[in-house]
Amino acid sequence: MARIALKVDVDTLRGTVEGVPRLMEILRRHRVSATFLFSLGPDHTGWALKRVFRPGFLTKVSRTSVVRHYGLRTLMYGVLLPAPDIGRRAAEPMRACAAAGHECGLHAWDHVLWHDQVRHRDEAWTRRQMGLAYDRFGEVFGRAPSTHGAAGWQINDAAWRQIDDWGMAYASDGRGREAFHPMVNGQRLRHVQMPTSLPTFDELIGLDGVEEQTVDRALLARTESDQDQVFTLHAELEGGELASVFDRLLVGWKAQGHVLGTMRDHHDALPAIGTAAAPLHWGTVPGRSGELALSAA
C-alpha cells in the first residue's frame, strides 16, 4: 500500500470557477481530500502564446488540444481581452473548497508571468510576486496558506527562502522522486520539498499510444508498486473534459489499495529522519517542453 498525494494546480479563472467545483464533487463521492493550489491575481493565459517558439511547445499543444481544454476566451486574456483578477472574481469557489475540507495553498500571483520569468529574476521581484499572492490569499481565506506549489515547476532560491521565512513546513515546487530539504548557498532550509513524482495527464496523452480515454490506465501501470507518490492534476483538464477519466483513475488507485490524500497527509507520513538536502537543479521531463526544477536528491 502506498500513499498518493493529490495536488491540484489551478491556473486560470475558468479553472477556478468551473474546474474546482467539478473536482470537489468527484472527490466528495470518493471521500478523498486534495491540496488545491490557487493562482490569485491576473489571468494572463494569452501571454503563454509566445511560448510557440520554445522547442517542443507546438508538439505538446497539438497532442493535448489546448483550445478545447482551456477555452478560446481564456486564451485571449491579456491579449485581446483584459486579464481578469482571479482572486476578486472567484473568491467564493476558493472558500467553498476550504469549507469542504480540502487543503488550500499558493500557486502564483500571475501564473504566466511567474512561469516564464522567475528562473531569471532577482530576490526583490520574487518576493514581491509571492507577497502579492500571500496577501490576497489572506483576503480570500482569512488566514495564511499552509503550502506552496510553483507554477509550471519554475522556482528559484529566493522563493525557497521565502517559503522558509513564512514558516511553511512543506511545499511542492519541482519534479522528482524523493522528498528533500532545499539547499541554498550551502544552507539546509527547514521546509521539505515533496516533488511531483508521477507524470501528468497532458504529458502522457498522445505519446506511446496513450489517448485521452486511456491515460488513466497508463498512470495505473506506474503505481502498481508500494512507492509513495505525488500526482499533480490541473483544474482545467481533470476538472474539465477529462473529469470522467480522473474519476476512473481514483477508482483504480483505490482498487490498487493506495491511500489518497493531501500534501499535508503526505508530509505527516514522511520518516522523521533521513530526508536528504539538495540544491536547485534543472532538467527536462518527457512530454513537457522547456526545463523544470528537478530534485537532485
Domains of the chain: 3-294 (3.20.20.370)
SS3 readout for 5-33: EEEEEECCHHHHHHHHHHHHHHHHHHCCC
Angle at which helix 123-141 crosses helix 91-99, to 10 degrees, equals 70
pLDDT computed for residue 79 by the predictor? 73
pLDDT computed for residue 83 by the predictor? 87
The C-alpha cell that represents 89 in the structure block: 472574481
DSSP state of 238: T
The C-alpha cell that represents 72 in the structure block: 478560446
DSSP state of 285: -
pLDDT computed for residue 172 by the predictor? 98
pLDDT computed for residue 46 by the predictor? 84
Closest CA to 80 of 51, 46, 112: 46
Bridge partners, 81 (sequence order): 77
- pLDDT tens for each residue of the chain, 297 residues long: 799 999 999 999 999 999 999 999 999 999 999 999 999 999 988 856 665 435 544 454 444 556 455 656 667 666 767 889 999 999 999 999 999 999 999 999 999 999 999 999 999 999 999 999 999 999 999 999 999 999 999 999 999 999 999 999 999 999 999 999 999 999 999 999 999 999 999 999 999 999 999 999 999 999 999 999 999 999 999 999 999 999 999 999 999 999 999 999 999 999 865 679 999 999 999 999 899 999 875
Q: Which residues have a Cβ under 8 Å from the Cβ of 215 and sit 6 or more positions away?
A: 201, 204, 205, 242, 245
Q: How far is CA 191 from CA 47, 113, 158, in A?
A: 32, 25, 14
Q: How far is CA 224 from CA 218, 219, 221, 249, 251, in A?
A: 11, 9, 6, 13, 14
CB 37 within 8 A of CB 8: yes
Q: How far is residue 66's CA from residue 64's CA, in Å, rounded to a whole number?
A: 6
Q: How far is residue 38's CA from residue 80's CA, in Å, rounded to a whole number?
A: 24
Q: How far is CA 196 from CA 38, 66, 150, 188, 236, in A?
A: 17, 22, 11, 21, 18
CB 51 within 8 A of CB 289: yes
pLDDT computed for residue 60 by the predictor? 46
The C-alpha cell that represents 155 in the structure block: 522556482
Say which amino acid occupies 128: R
- CA atoms within 13 Å, Cβ hemisphere of 276: 9
DSSP state of 47: G
pLDDT computed for residue 289 by the predictor? 85
pLDDT computed for residue 71 by the predictor? 57
Q: How far is residue 6's CA from residue 14's CA, in Å, rounded to a whole number?
A: 20
pLDDT computed for residue 53 by the predictor? 39
The C-alpha cell that represents 167 in the structure block: 514558516
pLDDT computed for residue 271 by the predictor? 82
Overall pTM > 0.85: yes
Q: How far is residue 226's CA from residue 257's CA, in Å, rounded to a whole number?
A: 9
Q: How far is residue 189's CA from residue 78's CA, in Å, rounded to a whole number?
A: 36
